[in-house]
Amino acid sequence: MKGLAKRLTAIIVLTAVCLTMVVYSRTRPVELRLGFIAGSYWDAPNGNCYAVIDAAIERFEREHPNVHVTYTSGILKRDYSEWLIDQYLLGSEPDVFLVLPEDFGELCELGALAPLDGYLAQDEVVSDTDFYPAALQSGAENGVQYALPYECVPTLMCVNKTLLESEGIAVPSGDWTWEDFYNICAKVTHDTDSDGEIDQFGCYGYTWQDALIANGTSLFTEGGSSCLISLPRAVQAVAFAQRLDKLTAETAPSARDFDEGRVAFRPFLFSDYRTYQPYPWRIKRYSDFSWDCIPMPHGPAGSNSSELSTVLAGISSRSAHTTLAWQFLRELTANADNQSMLFTDSHSVSALRSVTDSEKTRQILRQDTPGESRSGVEMLSDVMEQAVAAPRFRNYDQALLLTEGLVQTAMEDEHNLSLQLQRVQHEVQEYLQKN
């Protein structure tokens, strides 16, 4: 009997220990690590750079009391890419981390990002239709969604309203064309003080890349396997940029010319628009001209589209807490309250349609925008709908740099542009195949 009692006691003790271990394993704190940058990716002043992430963490930890979310503060944009790759190579990357546009292709190639399609398909809270198409596309490769958009910045066309008014020209509507653009630039480009030199200009900073997007084409295929610069739409776009440049062939405008009110148009990132419009040290420190932003002009084969730059967020393919990581990623990118903070605590745009295209957001932006300079605010959702995501394959930046130089040289030939662009395509194609 005593032996039986001892055995029963041992069994009871062992069972209690096992239950204790199970309970402990289920209740012990879980650390979820994040990768985040200090400051603004868009190089805009940001004195409260952690506000959005800290708010997301606070809500998440309140809903998940057994989870502690941590991140390393003070990592600057210029250091972040190297830091993240180093962490990955060491096997100590965060569970959830920001993916900068220039890093997406390399991280995909390394297999560092967990596919998200399964989560999106099963999640009842968030759907891929919640996001603007170009923003979502920025986080996809070969039809697989590897990251979700955290914040975006589209390109708008800044308009010097005072200059146009002085020339008797109305501010173009949102659906304006290349011909509208060119005709206005041609009319305002002239010598205003009769000293023999052009001192008023149509445009500063409009590039052939802008024209490509506005004419419904791109420079590379999505995966970077081919260059498309010799396609008819691309040739047409480069030819338009060439034609526009000829207006100021002898005296090219500068950024200072725009700042001092002598340029009618300039493409601007929305982050720059937010930075310069509301503050005393805005562009108006140089001049008293009024300005606004409208969509980019469209070519004959395109729409009023511009490039969308997107900072993404993804999950490590090696995370030990994938479910929690997804839940936090959802909190960061798809929670309306969190995404609304981008308009108060940063200079970027939310990729969520319900946030950007809301009266609350319009009110926030109107408060920051003086006078009648509000077209960009009212048209923002339309700009986001029409925006285009740039291909971000592994060697994109190097391929783009090579192509830019070659195309610029090709544009110097006024008679054989199409032939020159065929040569450019051949050279760039060789580079893409080797790399």
- Where does CATH 3.40.190.10 sit in the chain? 29-153+308-376, 155-307+389-434
> Taking the domain 155-307+389-434, which CATH number applies?
3.40.190.10
pTM (two decimals): 0.86
- Read off the pLDDT of residues 265-309 as tens digits, 9 standing for 90 and up: 999 888 887 776 543 334 444 456 788 888 999 999 999 999 999
pLDDT in tens, 390-405: 778 888 889 999 999 9
3-state secondary structure the chain: CHHHHHHHHHHHHHHHHHHHHHHHHHHCCEEEEEECCECCCCCCCCCCCCHHHHHHHHHHHHHCCCEEEEECCCCEHHHHHHHHHHHHHCCCCCCEEEECHHHHHHHHHHCCECCCHHHHHHCCCCCHHHECHHHHHCCEECCEECCEEEEEEEEEEEEEHHHHHHCCCCCCCCCCEHHHHHHHHHHHCECCCCCCCCCEEEECCCCHHHHHHHCCCCCECCCCCCECCCCHHHHHHHHHHHHHHHHHCCCCCCHHHHHCCCEEEEEEEHHHHHHHCCCCCCHHHCCCCCEEEECCCECCCCCCCCEEEEEEEEEECCCCCHHHHHHHHHHHHHCHHHHHCHHHHCCCECCEHHHHCCHHHHHHHHHHCCCCCCHHHHCHHHHHHHCEECCCCCCHHHHHHHHHHHHHHHCCCCCCHHHHHHHHHHHHHHHHHHC
Tell me the average pLDDT across 237-252: 92
Band of pLDDT at residue 3, cut at 50, 70 and 90: low
Which pLDDT score is estimated for 391? 77
Considering only residues 413 and 407, tell me which one the structure prediction assigns the higher pLDDT.
407
CATH level 2 (architecture), domain 29-153+308-376: 3-Layer(aba) Sandwich (3.40)
